[in-house]
Structure 1
Amino acid sequence: MPQGKPPFRADHVGSLLRPPELRDARVARAENRLDAAALREVEDRCIRDAIAKQQEIGLRAVTDGEYRRAFWHFDFLAGLGGVEMYESDQGIQFQGGQTKAYGLKVTGPLRYDAPVMVDDFRFVAENAGGSVAKMTIPSPSVLHFRGGRRAVDTHTYPDMDGFFADLGNAYSGAVEAFAAAGCRYLQLDETNIAYLCDPHQLEQLEARGEKVEGLLQTYATLINTAIAKRPADMTISMHLCRGNFRSMHIAAGGYDPVAEVLFNGINSDAYFMEYDDERSGSFAPLRFLPKGKTVVLGLVTSKTGELESKDLLKRRLEEAAKFCPIEQLALSPQCGFASTEEGNLLTVEQQWAKLSLCIEVAREVWGEV
């Protein structure tokens, strides 16, 4: 991992707890008590404050906290041509509750025909100062995994090969647009490859008629198509997650079934990997990590406010280093702090303490952040 190039020894996934002012403004906008321009002003102010705080504690990569989004995924995907967001009968089921009831459906040819969140990135870059502006978007597999064949118009796509081809090309357009805007640190939030490690999730896919065999390779090809035209100096990271909503999760299972394809079949530069509890399995899959790639170990949980001990984190880093060189490792929380605008069940002070802890441990282990 070259010094000065992301990911950094202490890094973060991206989303942050929303401040009360922003929460109130979004409610007011939803109730038509605030216009879009006024909401944007509140968002801008809160994002500037969040960037300043990230810089103050020592993070080298900064994000907008996903403050302009209600969901980590819906907001971006609904901006693609051919995709519609709708109110569904039920939300996504987590272990202990459901999200708001929304879904996505493909109603026409998939395409990237208008900038999606490019201006959001530009705002971060313009306010990042000497920090690296990081952009996060959902992985293209997200458009398939939750709805599958049933959510794709059969007249537009009588077979799914065309769907995946167009989706990859649409994402390629998005990646090129971010690159043209100056983005050099782009993250794909990839929950679904981690879900493929959970037998229960596979059973659910099969129950609705999806073809599970070969799906991992389909997703790998899809992601490679999406990032194929990125500039040589753009870092692509992937965030592997088993669900994060109000401190609840969806899936469980170690990375063993997917590790070889994940590390060697997908042309990503780095991987943010959830490793904050036993649901993630052992570090053994790291043995497949090739030279030149980095794994950012998510050893610090974003789901609770209790602060991990430095000794525990250092011991776990030592355990991971038995399977790959510690020079190819970094440290972060296992996920963002607010995958949806509701946020996880901890305080803002606890959030910043967790991120500060990552920075302190990184300095002590690697001698750099």
Structure 2
Amino acid sequence: MQRTAPPFRADQVGSLLRTAPVKAARTRRLAGEIDAAELKAVEDAEIRKLVARQAGIGLRAVTDGEFRRSWWHYDFLSHLDGVELVSVAQGLQFKGVQTKAEGLHVHGRIDFPAGHPMLDHFRFLKEVAAATPGQPVAKMTIPSPTALHYRGGRQAIETSAYPEMAPFFDDLGKAYGKAVRAFGEAGCTYLQLDEVYVAYLCDEAQRDYLRGRGDDPESLLHVYADLVNAACAGRTPGMTLSMHLCRGNFRSTWMAQGGYERVADILFNRMNVDAYFMEYDTERAGGFEPLRFLPKGKQVVLGVMTSKTGELESKDQLKRRIEEAARYTELDRLCLSPQCGFASTEEGNLLAEDQQWAKLARCVEVAREVWG
């Protein structure tokens, strides 16, 4: 049976490959050749086309592709009170490739400002979706609160603002509660927390990295669960809160590996989200066995289709993977999507736009055949 509320049987994580006009306009803006209003006009036009195409292939939830962002997380987090985007010594190291050298610095008390720019980004998306045939649901994505802590840790947080870490986590959780409530009050009924770092806690090398800087991975898992729940406390009536988990996505590369087993119970039973978009396109994510922890009333969206390469998965291949997952939880509690966005940063993954759209269309096609 198809679902009438999010997540939908055929769904998507959020980011999409930036179109040529968006890339050109962002380059010109960086060079000072156009102003912010001219860049916004291009983004608005391209997002309108993007939403129409998503709805046209049968997706019930549409996003703005994160077309106004450079990063999946830094653009949102750097507009919190007390946080700034800064240049750093080197970028993040993925397998064989490095990002641009930017990072976050916490210099003051954290809060969510009423004028956060992504509220307007959502309002525009909602307006466009409402004017689109079929009136698809406008889905908004924001980074999980864990993203402000994991990458920089204590070193990225000024001791003048937070001599101790407990008040930092408390303020961060409260700020996220405000953020979730603000999106709900703006009319958002489908909000996603992009959660990379709980999946990173499944990787022994990442756990060693954390221990090396003075963090305990097991304790951090509980701290992160509390942060997610503080965000969820801002949920407004009728809002679906989903969480996306992956192990890194930049220029078709990755950063972490390891199955969900060591975090599954807390992930599914302590974190108060409604649905989980779970990376499952390679052996790096382990098997489906952790799905046995999924409680009634929650959904898992199986990311068994990769967004990292352009090769199109066969319908039989995807159906077999869904059947494998259904051994550990009911088929009715499963949905289908690509394993991640197609462009977690503005650079995008190494596939063509037509290949991206073919994958999303295949997702819709398979979902109809599996769930009716």
CA distance in 2, matches of 1:357, 1:183: 27
Matched, 1:278 2:283: yes
Q: Does 1:347 align with 2:352?
A: yes
Structure 1: stretches of 5+ with no match in the other structure = none
- The match for 1:263 is 268
- Deviation at 1:113? 2.2
**Over residues 50-78 of structure 1, what are the superposed CA-to-partner deviations in whole Å (9 max), with x where a residue is unaligned?**
00000110000000000000000000000
Counterpart contact for 2:2–2:9, Cα < 8 Å:
no
Residue in 1 that maps onto 2:80? 80
Q: Distance in 2 between matches of 1:60 and 1:201?
A: 36
The one-letter amino acid of 1:212's match is P
Answering whether residue 102 of structure 2 is matched by residue 97 of structure 1, we say no
Q: Return the alpha-carbon distance in structure 2 between the equivalents of residues 228 and 141 of structure 1.
A: 16
Deviations along 1:4-27, one digit per CA (max 9) or x if unpaired, are 110000000000001111100000
Structure 2 counterpart of 1:193, from 193, 198, 212: 198
Residue 331 of structure 1 aligns with an amino acid whose one-letter code is L
Structure 2 counterpart of 1:38 = 38
CA deviation string 1:246-300 (max 9, x = no partner): 0000000000010000000000000000000100000000000000000000011
- 1:127 is matched with 128
One-letter amino acid of the counterpart of residue 231, structure 2: A
CA contact (8 A) 2:2 2:8 kept: no
Match of 1:108 in 2: 108
In the alignment, the residues of structure 2 paired with residue 277 and residue 188 of structure 1 have an alpha-carbon distance, to the nearest angstrom, of 22
Is contact 2:179-2:234 (8 Å) kept?
no
- What SS does the corresponding residue of 2:125 show, helix, strand or coil? helix
1:23 corresponds in structure 2 to 23
Report the Cα distance in structure 2 between the residues aligned to 1:33 and 1:340, rounded to whole angstroms: 22
In structure 2, the gaps of 5 or more residues are none
2:317 is aligned with 1:312: yes
Q: Which residue of 1 aligns with 2:292?
A: 287
| 2:9 corresponding residue in structure 1 | 9
* SS of aligned partner of 1:46: helix
2:175 equivalent in structure 1:
170
For 2:355 and 2:97, locate their aligned partners in 1 and report how far apart those are by CA, in whole Å.
Answer: 23
Which of structure 1's runs of 4+ aligned residues deviate more than 3 A? Answer: none
Residue 227 of structure 1 aligns with which residue?
232
Distance, in Å, in 2 between the alignment partners of 1:54 and 1:177 is 26
Matched with 1:57 is 57
Aligned equivalents of 2:220, 2:2: Cα separation in 1: 33
1:213 counterpart SS class: helix
TM score, norm. by length of structure 2: 0.97
Contact kept in structure 1, 2:62 and 2:137, CA below 8 Å? yes
1:301 CA drift (Å):
0.3
**Cα displacement (A) at 1:2:** 8.1
Deviation, structure 1 residue 208: 1.6
User: In the alignment, does 2:363 pair up with 1:363?
Assistant: no
C-alpha distance in structure 2 between counterparts of 1:212 and 1:298, whole Å: 25
1 CA distance for matches of 2:86 and 2:126? Answer: 32
Assess if the C-alpha contact under 8 Å between 1:115 and 1:177 holds in 2: no
Percent pairwise identity: 62
Q: Is the 8 A contact 1:64 1:124 kept in 2?
A: yes
Quote the Cα distance in structure 2 between the aligned partners of 1:189 and 1:137: 6
Q: Distance in 2 between matches of 1:37 and 1:298?
A: 37
Q: CA deviation at 1:210?
A: 1.9
Separation in 1 of the partners of 2:26 and 2:2? 40
Aligned residue type for 2:167: G
- CA deviation vs aligned residue, 1:222-246 (integer Å, no higher than 9, x gap): 1101111312310000000100000
Question: Which residue is equivalent to 2:146?
Answer: 141
> Residue 48 of structure 1 corresponds to which residue in structure 2?
48
* Equivalent position of 1:335 in the other structure: 340
Paired letter, 2:127? E
Q: Which amino acid aligns with 1:154?
A: T
Mapped to 2, the partners of 1:324 and 1:146 lie a distance apart of 33
Residues 107 and 152, structure 1, Cα contact 8 Å, conserved in 2: yes
Look up the match of 2:243: 238
Kindly indicate whether the alpha-carbon contact (under 8 Å) linking 2:302 and 2:339 is maintained by their aligned counterparts in 1. yes
Would you say how many aligned residue pairs link Structure 1 and Structure 2? Answer: 367
Letter matched to residue 107 of structure 1: H
Task: Please identify, of 155-164 and 330-339, the stretch whose mean Cα deviation from structure 2 is larger.
Answer: 155-164
- Partners of 2:347 and 2:251 in 1: how far apart? 7
Aligned amino acid, residue 285 of structure 1: P
Distance of 2:35 and 2:72 partners within structure 1: 23
Deviation at 1:156, TM superposition (A): 1.6
Give the Cα–Cα distance (whole angstroms) in 2 for the partners of residues 115 and 161 of structure 1.
27
Q: CA deviation at 1:181?
A: 0.4
Q: Letter of the aligned partner of 2:80 in structure 1? A: L
The 3-state SS of whatever aligns with 1:85 is strand
**The residue matched to 2:52 in structure 1 has which SS?**
helix
After TM superposition, give the deviation of residue 335 of structure 1 in Å: 0.2
Q: Is the 8 A contact 1:115 1:174 kept in 2?
A: no
Do 2:2 and 2:371's aligned partners in 1 also have CA atoms closer than 8 Å?
Answer: no
Name the aligned partner's letter for residue 140 of structure 1: P
Q: Aligned letter for 1:250?
A: M
Distance in structure 2 (CA, Å) of the matches to 1:99 and 1:114: 31
What is the DSSP-based 3-state SS (H/G/I as helix, E as strand, rest coil) of the residue aligned with 2:354? helix
